[in-house]
């Protein structure tokens, strides 16, 4: 499917999203994506007509729901090129990274071991490692960025030593939209004997991902940025790594046999899913995968790349606007306006009136305060696209920026 074909289908695509009704200009998909009707219907049916618990019931509806739940696992795994036994359902990508830190990290890392992250990481790929550092004494190194805001893998090559046991990096920056050369990062990490974890939250909605081809060890992502429900995400990990990891939460489902003297564990991935799982959300997750695959990630990426190019060009034509990140950023554009705080811009853009349209952007530090320090700003304004975004969203944003600048004189 070409960009042109996708553009011609945009009216139909936008009609799939009830959250966009009324012509709302939604440019905050990097925070959370709107949901297509097919995902809404799947979750409503799972909550109502089809609802039952999974794994434990001997009655037919429970068996059917169990099949649907495990089919969701297969779909989510296949979406990123993995096998169903390699997908752990979590509350989101944040929990997925914490799972790795607490289970794999707690079992394998000791005082003096080192972890490499980067300047642009989301807090969810910083704080879990700091908690691990405080608990076991590992050291954390920070890879710098290139001048245009990419993770500097040349610098990473100089930093990495055999003392490094883990490299944890974002596939796509949630602020700058810069795309990591994952294959090179994997080669560098494995070259010193380290494992590598990739935060794929901003990548999976807009880039084809094949974890087996990339060679990563861990890959974390969430459903709600992929047009699915909140409250669920996934950790993919190589089967042999998952099999060797101890559980991190105890309770129902994750056990094999419980006595007061000793408990034995279920095999992975069940070992990491204590308690009643997010049944409804998993089914919605699978419906979101179906929807995205029906359009095609290559087409989505090409479409968003065209929008990024258009917006960056329009912003760069304003001499009082600073645009961050590389020219080929993936679906995300962050910027600041001289004399206008991003929060003020976001508030004014949200106001609808007879002569202006409401536009939703993100304004703040985007859970990336170390990156803000690096950029020398307290916050940025961020426009992030989805597969439903179009040129009218950009036009409304630019008009809103001009209006804001007039207000601020």
Cβ atoms of 238 and 217 closer than 8 Å: yes
Q: What percent of the chain is predicted at pLDDT more than 70?
A: 98
Dist CA 194 CA 390 (whole Å): 42
Residue 1's pLDDT is what? 37
Residue 354's pLDDT is what? 79
Residue 101's pLDDT is what? 98
pTM of the model: 0.96
106-109, long-range: CB < 8 A, 24+ apart? 106/132, 106/135, 106/136, 106/246, 106/248, 107/244, 107/245, 107/246, 108/165, 109/136, 109/138, 109/165, 109/166
Dist CA 359 CA 357 (whole Å): 6
- As to burial, measured by CB atoms within 10 angstroms (0-12 exposed, 13-18 middle, 19+ buried), residue 30 is buried
246-305, pLDDT tens digit by residue?
A: 999 999 999 999 999 999 999 999 999 999 999 999 999 999 999 999 999 999 999 999
Residue 7's pLDDT is what? 53
Give SS3 for 28: strand
Q: List beta partners, residue 142.
A: 117
- Host H or E run for residue 290: helix 279-295
- Host H or E run for residue 140: strand 139-143
Residue 163's pLDDT is what? 98
Q: Using 50, 70 and 90 to split pLDDT, how confident is the model at 353?
A: confident
**What is the maximum alpha-carbon separation in the chain?**
73
73-100, pLDDT tens digit by residue?
A: 999 999 999 999 999 999 999 999 999 9
143-195, pLDDT tens digit by residue?
A: 999 999 999 999 999 999 999 999 999 999 999 999 999 999 999 999 999 99
User: Is 367 labeled as catalytic in the residue annotation?
Assistant: yes
Q: Using 50, 70 and 90 to split pLDDT, how confident is the model at 8?
A: very low
23-71, pLDDT tens digit by residue?
A: 899 999 999 999 999 999 999 999 999 999 999 788 999 999 999 999 9
Residue 275's pLDDT is what? 95
Catalytic residue among 321, 367, 372, 395: 367
192-244, pLDDT tens digit by residue?
A: 999 999 999 999 999 999 999 999 999 999 999 999 999 999 999 999 999 99
Cβ atoms of 393 and 13 closer than 8 Å: no
Whether the pLDDT of residue 2 is over 50: the answer is no
């Amino acid at each position: 499917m070409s960009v042109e074909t996708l553009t011609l289908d945009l009216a139909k695509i936008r009609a799939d999203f009830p959250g966009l009704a009324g012509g709302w200009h939604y440019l905050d998909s990097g925070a959370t994506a709107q949901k297509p009707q097919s995902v809404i219907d799947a979750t409503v049916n799972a909550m109502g007509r089809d609802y039952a618990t999974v794994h434990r019931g001997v009655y037919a509806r429970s068996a059917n729901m169990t099949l649907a739940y495990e089919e969701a696992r297969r779909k989510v795994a296949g979406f990123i090129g993995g096998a169903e036994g390699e997908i752990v359902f979590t509350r989101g990508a944040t929990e997925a990274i914490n799972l790795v830190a607490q289970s794999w990290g707690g079992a394998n890392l000791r005082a003096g071991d080192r972890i490499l992250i980067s300047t642009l990481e989301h807090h969810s790929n910083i704080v879990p490692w700091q908690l691990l550092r405080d608990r076991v004494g590992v050291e954390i190194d920070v890879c710098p960025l290139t001048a245009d805001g990419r993770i500097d893998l040349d610098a990473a090559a100089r930093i990495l030593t055999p003392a490094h046991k883990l490299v944890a990096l974002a596939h796509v920056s949630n602020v700058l939209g810069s795309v990591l050369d994952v294959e090179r990062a994997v080669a560098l990490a494995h070259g010193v004997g380290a494992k590598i974890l990739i935060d794929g939250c901003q990548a999976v909605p807009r880039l084809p991902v094949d974890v087996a081809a990339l060679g990563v060890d861990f890959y974390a992502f969430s459903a709600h940025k992929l047009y699915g429900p909140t409250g669920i995400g996934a950790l993919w990990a190589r089967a042999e790594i998952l099999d060797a990891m101890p559980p991190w939460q105890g309770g129902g489902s994750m056990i094999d046999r419980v006595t007061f003297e000793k408990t034995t564990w279920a095999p992975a991935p069940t070992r990491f899913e204590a308690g009643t799982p997010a049944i409804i959300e998993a089914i919605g997750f699978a419906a979101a995968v179906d929807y995205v695959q029906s359009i095609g990630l290559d087409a989505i990426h090409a479409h968003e790349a065209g929008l990024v190019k258009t917006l960056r060009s329009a912003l760069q034509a304003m001499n009082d606007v600073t645009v961050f990140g590389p020219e080929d950023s993936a679906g995300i554009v962050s910027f600041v306006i001289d004399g206008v705080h991003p929060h003020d811009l976001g508030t004014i853009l949200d106001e609808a009136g007879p002569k202006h349209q409401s536009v939703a952007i993100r304004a703040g530090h985007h859970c990336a305060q170390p990156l803000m320090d690096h950029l020398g700003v307290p916050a940025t304004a961020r426009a992030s696209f989805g597969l439903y975004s179009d040129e009218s969203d950009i036009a409304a944003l630019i008009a809103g920026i001009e209006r804001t600048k007039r207000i601020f004189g």
